Amino acid sequence: MGQRRFRNAGGIPSASDGMIEEPLEDYLSELRDAIVGGCAFGGSCRPNHFLINEYRPMSGISRHKDGPLYGGRVAILSLQSTCTLEFSPDKSSSRDEVTGVFLEPRSVLVFEGEAYWNWWHEICSRDHDIIDESLANIHLLPAHYQIGSKIVRKTRISLTLREVSNIQDPDRKFVTSTAEEEYMRKSR
């Protein structure tokens, strides 16, 4: 599988120690405010973390759940290329149990609740996607996407916006060795 490249903005979350919050760059603060203003997040939720990913053709991310480290809502902004994000009811689901969402450049996908807590999601490592009936949003796609169309992937950038609620005290001087190792690994 091709590897995605990524970077964290807002801090590096740690399941064991929380996140030392860092200020977002101005353009990311503005983007967050636009996404929040578009009603992607409501109530007291204040997203404070971006995961910025680069997916080249033939790269993806394996089936996973985001889990309790983050609040139960996520917004994903897709840029530059299309791809299909696939949802499945369990980690070992067969292909006929998978539901896809076709992501176009400049689209924002928001999911929460059942989709966030109970369904697995992945981006399969391939160089194209096929438009078919397994896409939950097929009825929303422009007419030029026909059933059976092969859509070639290009390099895609995604910005995944979430809320990390377990924030460390910024004056804390000591962290566990596990947290330090995780920080060093993720900051490379």
Give a yes or no: residue 164 inside a domain.
yes
Give a yes or no: residue 105 inside a domain.
yes
Give a yes or no: residue 149 inside a domain.
yes
d(CA 91, CA 98): 11
pLDDT at 44: 74
Which runs of consecutive H residues, i.e. helices, occur in the chain? 26-37, 113-117, 177-187
Q: What's the per-residue H, E or C state across 63-79?
A: EECCCCCECCEEEEEEE
- What CATH number corresponds to the domain at position 13? 2.60.120.1520
Number of compact structural domains in the chain? 1
pTM > 0.75: yes
Give a yes or no: residue 188 inside a domain.
no
pLDDT at 171: 66
pLDDT at 1: 45
pLDDT at 188: 65
Question: What's the average pLDDT block by block, 10 residues per block, for the chain (188 residues)?
Answer: 85 88 96 88 85 96 89 94 95 85 97 92 96 96 96 98 88 64 70
Q: Which domain holds residue 133?
A: 5-182
List phi, psi (to 5°) of 74.
-140, 145
The torsion defined by the Cα of 138, 47, 186 and 65, in degrees rounded to 10, comes to -50
Give a yes or no: residue 187 inside a domain.
no
